[in-house]
């Protein structure tokens, strides 16, 4: 009898455990990223929404329509995401800017820009707010590191057997603390050390081969000037760009432009060694940044594609001809040859059922058609630039 009671108690406990297990499993949903069965993985990039708790209706419509049309597997916010004042307003602003993504059940990641923390809420508090909405994959891998939210997010192979690709979220920080140097901050040595150690560990796990990767951060690397501009032997005062102790032409080398250059890039004023670190680790094939809202060019700098994603926001400064979001398509079997396109707001607005023209701040379809026509002329010009660059890669100067 005693044994029977014991047996029944064990049976009842087992039943209780079984009834709890599915609930527990449901609470800890699998957030692992994985290539799709067709070998693709799509990442949508929202740069510089830079808005407060009253997110512009046109920005929301742009996000919703881009998400519905392209159905990405992941969204990355590239910094200067919210600029509302105080905790309560930042909370509402983050809720608003993530809502299109959260409502669609899409996982997302983010990096911080130079403006996110300027409004009396720390990045750590901001990150905790993001983590309370939907499936936020950014985490602060090593809180002691400079910045907040430095982390890596692996994408597994479609069979789940191994890490097939890796995404670096890096905080490019805010403003240089040294008044002698000034300007924007940079990726600090402790962040680079962590990156190199983590990339080496991933490489070791991957049989000694670097895991192909992309880097996402707000501010462009300083080498953009060496690549896009002509270095001058002497300063021409206001007629030259004077940076890092070097002097550059005011205008870029136009044959390098395959997208818009409507403002001078704003990298840090010091060489921070990030490009050298990427080359040492050998994993980063492309870097995507925001920060310069009106630019959409891509240049290859010493083997790494450097891509300026223009602003998707309609509140901060930006131009109707560049505004939009980036779309990366990764290919599991050929990770080095990813596809990238800029999803343009005017294209979305011209769709039959678009909410953009009728949203607050939206414009008539005829206006977007005009912007599209103007863009077609400029795109043809970029094609000519590209041909010229192929024939004269070193330029004529």
Q: How far is the CB of 193 from Fe ion (least distance, A)?
A: 28
Cβ distance to Fe ion smaller for residue 112 or 165: 112
Spatial contact of 157 and 113, defined as CB atoms under 8 Å apart: no
Q: Which residues pair with 155 in a beta bridge?
A: 33, 165
Strand 163-169 relative to strand 304-308, pairing: unpaired
Q: How far is Cα 363 from Cα 68, in angstroms, rounded to an integer? A: 21
Question: In the complex, what is the shortest distance from the CB of residue 308 to Fe ion, in angstroms, rounded to a whole number?
Answer: 12
Cα torsion angle, 48, 133, 147, 55, sign: positive
What's the Rg (C-alpha) of the chain?
Answer: 23
Binding letters toward Fe ion, positions 19-58, x by CB under 5 A? -----------------------------x-x--------
DSSP lists the bridge partners of residue 165 as 155
Q: Which of 78, 147, 87 is nearest to 119 (CA)?
A: 87
Cβ-based nearer residue to Fe ion, 80 or 215: 80
Residue 234 half-sphere exposure toward CB, CA atoms < 13 A: 1
Cβ 113 to Fe ion shortest distance, Å: 6
Q: Which is nearer to Fe ion, 123 or 372 (CB)?
A: 123
With CB under 5 A as the rule, give the number of residues binding Fe ion: 3
CB 318 within 8 A of CB 294: yes
User: Cβ 115 to Fe ion, closest distance in Å?
Assistant: 6
Stretch that binds Fe ion, among 73-81, 157-165, 238-246, 349-357 (CB under 5 A): 73-81
The minimum distance between CB 311 and Fe ion, in angstroms, equals 7
**By CB neighbour count within 10 A (0-12 exposed, 13-18 middle, 19+ buried), where does 21 fall?**
exposed
What is the C-alpha separation between 395 and 249, in angstroms, rounded? Answer: 14
Q: Whose Cβ is closer to Fe ion: residue 41's or residue 297's?
A: 297
Tell me if 117 contacts Fe ion by CB under 5 A: no
CB of 313 to Fe ion, least distance (A): 8
Pick the binder of Fe ion from 53, 56, 73, 80 (CB under 5 A): 80
Pick between residue 48 and residue 272 the one whose CB is nearest to Fe ion: 48
- Contact residues: Fe ion, CB under 5 A: 48, 50, 80
């Amino acid at each position: 009898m005693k044994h029977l009671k014991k047996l029944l108690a064990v049976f009842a406990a087992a039943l209780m455990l079984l009834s709890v297990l599915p609930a527990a499993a449901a609470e800890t949903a699998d957030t692992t990223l994985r290539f799709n069965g067709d070998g693709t993985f799509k990442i949508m990039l929202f740069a510089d929404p830079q808005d407060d708790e009253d997110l512009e209706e046109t920005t929301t419509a742009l996000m919703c329509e881009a998400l519905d049309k392209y159905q990405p597997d992941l969204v990355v916010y590239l910094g200067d995401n919210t600029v509302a004042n105080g905790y309560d307003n930042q909370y509402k602003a983050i809720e608003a800017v993530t809502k299109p993504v959260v409502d669609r059940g899409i996982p997302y990641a983010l990096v911080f820009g130079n403006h996110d923390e300027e409004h009396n809420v720390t990045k750590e508090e901001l990150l905790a707010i993001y983590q309370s909405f939907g499936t936020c994959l950014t985490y602060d891998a090593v809180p002691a590191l400079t910045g907040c939210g430095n982390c890596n997010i692996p994408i597994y192979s479609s069979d789940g057997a191994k890490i097939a690709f890796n995404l670096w979220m890096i905080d490019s920080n805010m403003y240089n603390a040294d008044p002698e140097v000034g300007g924007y901050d940079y990726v600090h040595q402790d962040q680079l050390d962590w990156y190199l150690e983590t990339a080496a560990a991933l490489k070791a796990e991957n049989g000694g081969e670097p895991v192909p990767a992309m880097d996402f951060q707000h501010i462009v690397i300083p080498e953009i000037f060496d690549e896009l501009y002509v270095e001058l032997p002497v300063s021409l005062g206001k007629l030259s760009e004077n940076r890092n102790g070097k002097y550059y032409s005011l205008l870029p080398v136009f044959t390098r432009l395959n997208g818009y250059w409507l403002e001078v890039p704003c990298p840090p004023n010091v060489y921070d060694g990030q490009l050298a670190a990427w080359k040492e680790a050998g994993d980063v094939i492309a870097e995507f940044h925001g920060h310069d809202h009106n630019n959409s060019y891509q240049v290859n700098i010493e083997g790494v594609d450097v891509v300026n994603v223009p602003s998707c926001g309609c509140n901060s400064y930006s131009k109707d001809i560049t505004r939009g979001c980036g779309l990366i398509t990764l290919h599991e079997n050929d990770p080095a040859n990813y596809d990238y396109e800029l999803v343009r707001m005017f294209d979305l607005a011209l769709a039959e059922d678009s909410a953009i023209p009728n949203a607050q701040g939206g414009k008539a379809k005829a206006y977007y058609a005009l912007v599209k026509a103007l863009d077609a002329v400029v795109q043809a010009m970029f094609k000519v630039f590209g041909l010229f660059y192929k024939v004269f890669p070193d330029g004529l100067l």
